[in-house]
Structure 1
């Protein structure tokens, strides 16, 4: 019986299996019409029965982005029905006269007000009668809603009214999401938006996980990756799918942290370029966390890794805009029809540009399992270039340059804008398309070292195997530093930790559990918080963190502890990265597949072409070169040097000296 990690992307589905004998991998096109089909097909190809399946899924994400969720009703206090549409009145595009908000997930006819009221102190100031509940449930049921999001004022302090409404709505046959379960924190709009998002995707996620579980071997355990980098049981993911909106990208970041610690790379920028998008994150010895993200026009406020995503992937479509400028993405060709070289469509993509320039082998894509058709590309790139006054080669290199510019901006968001210099980090490149662009990105950012792990196209799936089972718990407390000492702060965690232990004991009885404390803190009068670990002096830690992020601190100002957080982790069995001795100098003869012509910066060159599976620890190579494997190809431009380290990573020195292996 095996432990299996699965990552379902917009273009490919990746499956990696861990047994006592090592790893086995499968990569196959995704099936957007029924994502479970590709997952089950990949598991069948392994021919090893799965004991546990750890799954990163885009089902919740896509349901939100594509507006394919359930018909959802929003239930709140009378007079507050429209908060889900009003929002915060922010203007993200201040100077765009034609700016339009995303349509609300809940139309006006499906917003319902309930009597009853709880005060800001958590006291009932208006009762919610049984008659009022029956009347409201009848109206919701008659509206045609399939799911209901219930978010009452101050329910995070006293959830009894929400519980009564939720029970009655569930008895009426609706899928129900309660804000006191999904996000027991203050700020009613963010709480409402997150609960609505959960209610909107819950029926879709429940159906998908049901189909998937039905196809698994009897007794196999199914877990789903959360946006926070921890696993939850499938039953929990059915109820709280909003916790999985960054499920797939989180796997790669978790794997990056594990690999970095093993190989000696403590400071990494992760660069995950897949078929549809690129996801980047920063690892400074630990996972970087964020409090919320925005998806489909809604703030999603759940614990999540600090991952920045841009619509630039191998399948991103290239076109000229109204002004004649070359644009790449965010639209993607997806798995169907896919890039033009798949032979099913005419939309040019980043993958087509790489193939046209000779950086991919048409006969060895996906290990030769998926032939490509390069003969279609000269005519298509000639037409694209002619429309913009470019040659075909200039058009193809322009497509790559535009995509790389978008990815460079994304990396600057999670590094420079967070107070970090990218030059102080190594770039960890993975995803099916990452290795084709990693060195160019490193040069743009001043990064000296690029690390490409084994099986880069399946690295996010590998990360599922390194994740612990995790649940996050929170409680808004609003405690001021001039009225609360550290002993009192520690005492505030008591109820939260008791709840965490009870729930985790049910989910993983007898397992080893670790509780991690965190505080959301701010200066009194501010409207934003910073997450601070509960250390010996969290107030001092907050001052220092505030200065690092914003450039100043107020040592004499009153600090507010806004929210307490507990992360409960159940430690799982994990694979181990083992280091082999480096015995080889140069490249084994059997690793050289031949030479390939390619174009780099407008000039034709001849590149060495290597089989990565035949490279051994200690193998050294220099650019121009292509390193091919089943899940990806790595492009080494002229002037760089690379070495295979003891863990099988391809470590690239961007300046061309000896590769800086750890």
Structure 2
């Protein structure tokens, strides 16, 4: 069977595949107007039958960010119609006097209240009447609604009303999401918000996945990676698309964890710089998860890999801000028109700056399969240099320094601001543009080592091939934490585990390959938020220790269990990392030529090396440029690197 990983990005769609025992990679330009076109183009190029395809998609993400989802209605209890508008009192920019929250995805005229009620014990105190259902259906039909999000109070305790309404609405042809199936937990605002996002993107995701499925052979196995790093069937992804919002970046973190384990690095800061954005995550011996993520300021109460994103990528556009200062991003040139050097764009980008300084070498961009227009680049650098009164070389280096500062700030958010010292970690770098910037970020953050895997430009696609089938389940229980309740807690876990086993069996997983991890959401009585604690026989002591570690104290107050959670994992076969041929210290066989490259305002004679010809044990002292199909790596004058047994570049950075 041919194994294929596909990752859709803002500029390129990446493919990595194992065919006839040999790994192959390539990129095609993304097709933002219909991302499936680029995916199908690449799959057609690979060919073959009975393929195993894992896909990371940005369809759900872009639909929310660009406000291009379905026309959606929101249904809740009478009197609570504006819950998704009111939200919480917290604000993103605390000191911005002009700050305005983004408007909700569903306007006021499409928010409806039904006079039914379940109380806080899960008992029905007012029935859902048939007339209210028929009246609702008539109204939303006249408003041309496509999709409906339903979130009744306390439906996580008793889902009867939601399920009745879902069945009726689906019979009438609407797409429907109900909160008890998406987030069966308390906190009605977060539960409603997550359900709304799911309904908003559901029609678009279903059409997208159906088009791909329709245009590939029936014998192909096709699955989608979720934000939690696990893979699911396209049917599940179509009904619960909110779980794919961080689909692509999750693959990279999974891959970094796998490679890190293989080479003996358990503390990693992952740095994924693509064409549109940069994604960073911190791995401290385990993959980090959170249930407090958001997209475009809309909270999502689902488990996702803890990834922080900033709008700085290779396609990020440079401009003068209102104060006349040079700035970069978050606006991106994307795939069309793309950077100036791609032949269509007219605004300078980070990629253009790297090319202008000689750090990106046009002869070897995508192994020469894509031509970069240097004459056009020089014309626009001259144009903006005169317009902004900045010398061309200073302009290019300024663009890169500003982009580096934004990415450095993102890394500080997930490390320093959470009590971690970057010096204790290795910077694991991938993405098409990551290798161009990693050494400079490591120096600024005092990170002593950078790891750049083979084929970094398609690494997220590779990581997808390492993913297991993962499903998360939760249930709000609201009970006092007491060791005498262990058996009761285990019985509740078993209820979730039965559902998990059934779902994974439907996903095609053998029962012997299913593993269950148990968790408790716990807090001191009176607190507003919880800590997720792995379940053990000493779960209360574990909570106290974790609270002490994170917040610096523990108390004698009663402890509550708010939610129980399980993570069900269906293990899949993993491709092994291949060792490369051993060589001498001198990488002379990989030397292509010498070029002059700008570093700190000076042109420095610099080696250009072919990564494909590097061997294990080779050492490269900066400055040097290492070229390969999917990416370019800059070994700065203040760093040097060696090649390990698996072909990873290990950079040692001097302060």
Scaled by the length of structure 2, the TM-score of the pair is 0.98
SS at match of 1:363: helix
Corresponding residue of 1:82 = 82
Q: Which residue of 1 aligns with 2:211?
A: 211
Q: Who is 1:608 aligned against?
A: 607
Matches of residues 531-610 of structure 1 in structure 2 within 5 Å?
Answer: 531-554=532-555, 556-580=556-580, 582-589=582-589, 591-610=590-609
Does structure 2 conserve the Cα–Cα contact (< 8 Å) formed by 1:519 and 1:562? yes
Aligned-pair distance for 1:482?
5.1
Residue 508 of structure 1, CA deviation: 2.2
Q: 3-state DSSP class of the match of 2:363?
A: coil
* Structure-1 separation of matches of 2:112 and 2:483: 40
Structure 2 distance, partners of 1:484, 1:558, is: 14
**Which moved further from structure 2: 111-120 or 94-103?**
94-103
Aligned to 1:646: 645
Residues 58-80 of structure 1 show CA distances to partners (whole Å, capped at 9, x for unaligned) of 00000000001000000111111
What is the Cα deviation at residue 222 of structure 1? 1.1
Q: Structure 2 CA distance, aligned partners of 1:442 and 1:282?
A: 14
- 1:14 & 1:507 partners in 2: Cα distance? 25
State the shift of 1:483 in Å.
8.2
Alpha carbons of 1:162 and 1:651: their partners in 2 closer, same or farther (altered >3 Å)? same
- Structure 1's 284 and 18: CA in aligned 2 closer, same or farther, altered over 3 A? same
Secondary structure in 1 matching 2:331: strand
Question: How big is the shift at 1:206?
Answer: 0.3
Q: Deviations over 1:387-424 (max 9, x none)?
A: 55421111111110111111111111111122211110
Please give the alpha-carbon distance, in whole angstroms, between the structure 1 residues aligned to 2:415 and 2:235.
36
Which piece of structure 1 moves more, 196-205 or 213-222?
A: 213-222
Task: Tell me if structure 2 keeps the 8 A contact 1:481–1:561.
Answer: yes
Residue correspondence of structure 1 range 360-439 to structure 2 within 5 A: 360-439=360-439
Stretch of structure 1 that moved more, 379-388 or 222-231: 379-388
Distance (Å, rounded) in 2 between the aligned partners of 1:290 and 1:329: 27
Secondary structure at 2:372 match in 1 = coil
Q: What does the per-residue CA deviation read over 1:581-605, in whole Å, with 9 as the maximum and x for residues that have no partner?
A: 634321142x111011110011111
Secondary structure of the 2:458 match is: helix
CA distance in 2, matches of 1:212, 1:231: 17
Measure, in 1, the Cα distance between the counterparts of 2:543 and 2:327: 42
State the match for 1:263 in structure 2. 263
Q: Is the 8 A contact 1:269 1:425 kept in 2?
A: yes
- Correspondence list, 1:468-547, <5 A: 468-481=468-481, 485-508=485-508, 510-511=510-511, 512-547=513-548
CA contact (8 A) 1:227 1:304 kept: yes
* Distance in 2, Cα, partners of 1:187 & 1:321: 40
Checking the alignment, whether the CA contact within 8 Å between 1:610 and 1:625 is kept in structure 2 is yes
Query: What is the SS of the residue equivalent to 1:575?
Result: coil
| Aligned pairs (5 A) from 1:281-360 | 281-360=281-360
Check conservation: 2:580, 2:615, Cα contact below 8 A. no
- Change in CA separation of 1:484 and 1:9 when aligned onto 2, cut-off 3 Å: farther
Match of 1:458 in 2: 458
Q: After superposition, what is the alpha-carbon deviation per residue over 1:155-188, rounded to whole angstroms, capped at 9, x for unaligned?
A: 0110010011111111111101111111111000
- Mapped to 1, the partners of 2:299 and 2:168 lie a distance apart of 28
Q: Contact 1:54–1:222 (CA<8 Å) still a contact in 2?
A: yes
Cα displacement string for residues 553-572 of structure 1 (whole angstroms, at most 9, x for unaligned residues): 22x12111111111111100
Q: Which of 592-601 and 214-223 deviates more?
A: 214-223
Partner of 1:626: 625
Work out the CA distance in 2 between the residues paired with 1:584 and 1:523.
59
CA distance in 2, matches of 1:457, 1:509: 31
Structure-2 change in CA distance of 1:570 and 1:20 (3 Å): farther
Measure how far apart 1:20 and its partner are: 5.0
- 1:382 is displaced (CA, Å) by 3.8
Q: Which moved more, 1:368-377 or 1:121-130?
A: 368-377
Whether the 8 Å CA contact 2:49–2:219 is kept in 1: the answer is no
Contact 1:640–1:655 (Cα < 8 Å) also in 2: yes
Distance 1:137 1:415 in 2: 50
For residues 321 and 176 of structure 2, what CA distance do their matches in structure 1 show? 44
Pick which of 129-138 and 185-194 moved more: 129-138
1:180 aligns with 2:184: no
How far the C-alpha of 1:502 sits from its partner, in A, is 2.1
Give the 3-state SS of the residue equivalent to 2:585 in structure 1: coil
The Cα of 1:383 is off from its aligned counterpart by: 4.0
Shift in alpha-carbon separation, 1:583–1:614, aligned structure 2, 3 A = closer
Verify the 8 A CA contact 1:26 1:46 in the aligned structure 2. no
Q: Give the count of matched residue pairs.
A: 654
Maintained 8 Å contact 2:581/2:615: no
Structure 2 spans left out of the alignment, 5+ residues:
none
| Cα shift at 1:137 | 1.8
Bigger mean CA offset, 292-301 vs 161-170: 292-301
Partner of 2:634: 635
| Contact 1:431-1:456 within 8 A present in 2 as well | yes
Do 1:364 and 1:371's aligned partners in 2 also have CA atoms closer than 8 Å? Answer: no
* 1:521-540 Cα deviation digits (max 9, x unpaired): 11111111111111342222
Q: What is the CA-CA distance between 1:132 and the residue it aligns to?
A: 2.1
Q: Which moved more, 1:447-456 or 1:416-425?
A: 416-425
Contact 2:253 2:281 survives alignment (8 Å): yes
TM-score (norm 1): 0.97
User: CA distance change for structure 1 residues 483 and 580 in 2, over 3 Å: closer, same or farther?
Assistant: closer
Q: Report the alpha carbon displacement of residue 141 of structure 1 after superposing the two structures with TM.
A: 1.9
Q: Equivalents in 2 of 1:111, 1:311: separation in Å?
A: 32
Larger deviation: 579-588 or 92-101? 579-588
Which residue of the partner structure matches residue 150 of structure 1? 150
The reply on whether 1:111 has 2:125 as its aligned counterpart is no
Q: Which is worse superposed, 45-54 or 169-178?
A: 45-54
Q: Deviation string for 1:279-307 (max 9, x for gaps)?
A: 00111121100112121231111110000
Report deviation, 1:519: 1.1
Gaps of 5+ in 1: 657-662
Q: Distance in 1 between matches of 2:466 and 2:402?
A: 34
d(CA) in 2 for partners of 1:156 and 1:185? Answer: 6
Contact 1:448 1:654 in 2 (8 A): yes
Higher mean C-alpha deviation, range 496-505 or range 257-266: 496-505
